Amino acid sequence: MRSHCWSLISRASLAGVVLAVASSTSYAQAAQPKAQPAAQPAKGPAKPAKPGKPKTQKQKEEEAGKLFQEGKAKFTAGDFAGAYDAFKGANDLVPAPVPKYRMAESLDKKGDVDGAIAAYEAFLNADPKPDATRDKDRIANAEARLSALKSSPADVTVKIEPAEAAAATLTIDGAPAAGNPLKVPPGKHTIGATLDGFEDGKVEVEVTRLEKKEVTITMTPKPKDVAGGPGPSGPGDKPGDKPKTPETSSSSSVIPAIVTLSLAGAGVVVGSVFGGLALKSKGEYEDTPTQDLFDETERNALIADMSFGVALTFGVTGVVLLLTDSGSSETPAAAEPAKKAKLDFILPFASPDGAGAVGRVSF
């Protein structure tokens, strides 16, 4: 009886354990969150907006006109980059030669040499081409600026050695040149240097447009003259004999002075002619600045300066000859070598700023 009771108790306990486990499992399942519904598939890309209605030709012309006026205003105000953008917008809407020319002009003023060259060429080769009558001035200016830009000089800094020769006069292909750095046109050139007391120096250079280069010219000092006594006596000369003074007529002695003064007069005439040409080409350059007119003005001015310098040289020489001849026609005592006027030396000079002569007369 007792064992039977224990059997019932064991079964009851086992049933309670089973019920407890089942209850805890149900509770755990009830505590879990509900599964989320499956995500909806993403929608495809948005459809592109429908293109707007294309502009009519009249609308393009009106908008191009506004952009062109805007470009002119910015160009006048000095905003050349903004002017270029406005002119380009006008040309994109209605292609025409005038906006292309203004684009090139804006780049030119901005300092974009390569861009301006390409833009001027685009204007000259535009389709439709510029009108030979209506666009005559634009065509002429574009061609002139194109030529000038393509020949834009390089900056060449010349270093002279030794330092004692730093004051040497520089030349480009034999023509006097001012300043340092020198403005050298594109291509191959010879830069020279000259200075009294030194052998001439030179260097070959090849430059491109707007290039910056430095070159060195080494100059060698000339050997100094050896001071010596009087030259050897001629055959038959005796130490005690005095040199004989040749007898010359006054008329024959005046001839060199007359010839020299005539050459001085010719120099004045040549200088006046080329001076007038230089003033004329300068006026034309101020109206229409081109490289050819600039070079012509410089060349004429240089020839005029050198001609006046030659005239001054011969004029001084002629005056000295006249003074010397007048002294030789006086009494024998005045004609002695110790009392005659003597022209020791006379040196002409010419530079980009002028010309003249320097001399010394001793008595």
Residue 288: what pLDDT?
A: 83
At residue 324 the predicted structure's pLDDT band, cuts being 50, 70 and 90, is: confident
What is residue 301's three-state secondary structure? helix
Give me the count of residues in the chain: 363
The DSSP string of 67-78 is HHHHHHHHHHTT
- The whole-number average pLDDT for the span 12-33 is 44
Let me know: does 325 contact 250? Beta carbons within 8 Å. yes
Strand partners, 357: 348
Let me know: does 200 contact 193? Beta carbons within 8 Å. yes
Q: Residue 188 above 50 pLDDT?
A: yes
Q: Residue 257 above 50 pLDDT?
A: yes
Q: Can you read off the two tokens belonging to residue 112?
A: 């974009």
Write down the architecture of domain 57-150 according to CATH: Alpha Horseshoe (1.25)
- The whole-number average pLDDT for the span 217-221 is 94
Which helix H or strand E contains 192, and what residues bound it?
A: strand 187-194
Where is average pLDDT lowest: 7-21, 138-152, 159-173?
7-21
Where is average pLDDT lowest: 67-76, 190-199, 257-266?
257-266
Angstrom distance (rounded) from CA 200 to CA 156: 19
Which helix H or strand E contains 105, and what residues bound it?
A: helix 97-110
CATH, range 154-218: 2.60.40.2070
Angstrom distance (rounded) from CA 82 to CA 98: 17
At residue 2 the predicted structure's pLDDT band, cuts being 50, 70 and 90, is: very low
DSSP 51: P
Q: Residue 176 above 70 pLDDT?
A: yes
Angstrom distance (rounded) from CA 82 to CA 74: 6
At residue 40 the predicted structure's pLDDT band, cuts being 50, 70 and 90, is: low
Residue 17: what pLDDT?
A: 40
Q: For the segment 75-100, what is each residue's pLDDT rounded down to a tens digit? A: 999 999 999 999 999 999 999 999 99
